[in-house]
Copies of this chain bind each other. A is one copy, B any other.
Amino acid sequence: MHSIRQAFVHRLSAASPSDVSALTEVVNQGLIQADAIVAILGKTEGNGCVNDFTRGLATLALKAAVSGLSGLSLEQVSTRVAFVMSGGTEGGLSPHWLVFEVREIAESLALKNMPATRSEAPPALAIGVAMTAEFKPEEIGRSAQIMATADAVRKAMLEAGITDPKDVHYVQVKCPLLTRQRIESAQARGETLVTQDTYLSMGFSRGASALGVALALGEIKPDQVSDASVCIDSSLYSGRASTSSGIELMQNQIMVLGNSAAWQGDLQIAHAVMSDALDVDAVSDALASLGLQPGRDLRDRERNTICAVLAKAEAAKCGLIRGRRHTMLDDSDIHSSRHARALVGGVLAGVFGETQLFVSGGAEHQGPDGGGPIAVIARF
């Protein structure tokens, strides 16, 4: 008897960066199989910039919890599960965990839960995970990171059973950044770095990672990218990448989300590209693919239909939003990435009536200047 895979997504509240009580409770209730968890995306309440240690704290706490709940060792958990923490809950954004499970379900059981005619079953949410090797500091933000990321995306698609890149709707990448120590260690070996500014290194790492996704999905061609493209040529971008940099790792972790007829379940994912931070019309397009539309119903009756909203935010480098000046790039008290998350978080919270939104900052090569991809996972 064959088995078929089904993806589950659970959105859980976090009372602090180390709060695993909701996860523990849901596992204890039998709603999550701890050993089926493949990824946890977390929105934590740090500044989302260089010295945001809430991401590391959350990763530490979640790893320990998954280990304790699943019986797997910490090493096994680190190998099997991607922990992708994105700091920054500016405006009204609410700290939460998105727990992704992949269960193998015996086909006879699976059929029971499906429409009578198997062939009529719509494609369902499919997940694939992969990692690159660890990067050297001098590889971050350069071609080496682009190419390794593209390879890992292809590997994750293969694992997800997705062959057509257009069935991929979201690629989450967690990537490293440069710290003083990493910069010095590379310089001690005589290497140059893409930047010596730790904050700027986050952007280069996100940018190179996004270009890797774009390459793997055929959004750009190999001969279009080089070291010189990263964070320079903003015409090159992926409409489905979401990359997030953190101090706690040195390799890229990739999670591909798409729809596949080879998977079962009642979840689907759709995406659109916001052309600027206010592009509610793009959100409407993504919702339309899922049979939903913005308005009072979505905010009220259908609110729980939405399992996850994943979006990127960044300050438009042109300094304008629809012709009006913004002040994000001239503010030396609050980083522009924090302003941008607050803005996009507000725009989306108005649409969804919900603040547990995975809005992450730094959208280099992820959508056009000032805009970015948005993906929605909903129950049908």
Contact = CB atoms under 8 A, between A and B. Distances in A.
Contact of A332 (B318, B335, B350): B335
Contacts of A317: 196
A334 B90 contact: yes
A94 B321 contact: yes
Contact of A355 (B47, B61, B322): B322
Contacts of A198: 329-330
A325 interface: yes
Nearest to A283: B350
Interface string A279-298: 01100000000000000100
A103 interface: no
A333 interface: yes
A123 interface: no
Contacts of A307: none
A248 to B, nearest CB: 9
A379 to B, nearest CB: 19
Nearest to A52: B332
Contact of A53 (B13, B53, B325): B53
B324 A180 contact: no
What is the count of identical protomers in the complex? 4
Interface string A24-57: 0000000000000000000001110111111011
A51 B333 contact: yes
A45 B277 CA distance: 19
A262 interface: no
B330 A51 contact: yes
Contacts of A145: none
Central interface residue in A91, A180, A199, A296, by most chain B CB within 10 Å: A91
Contacts of A13: 324-325
Contacts of A206: none
Interface in A249-307: 277-278, 280-281, 296, 299
A111 interface: no
Contact of A347 (B329, B335, B340, B346): B346
7 contacts: A16-B53, A50-B330, A51-B327, A91-B340, A322-B354, A345-B346, A350-B351
Interface of A: 13, 15-18, 45-47, 49-54, 56-57, 60-61, 89-96, 179-181, 184, 196, 198-199, 247, 277-278, 280-281, 296, 299, 317-319, 321-322, 324-335, 338-340, 342-351, 353-356
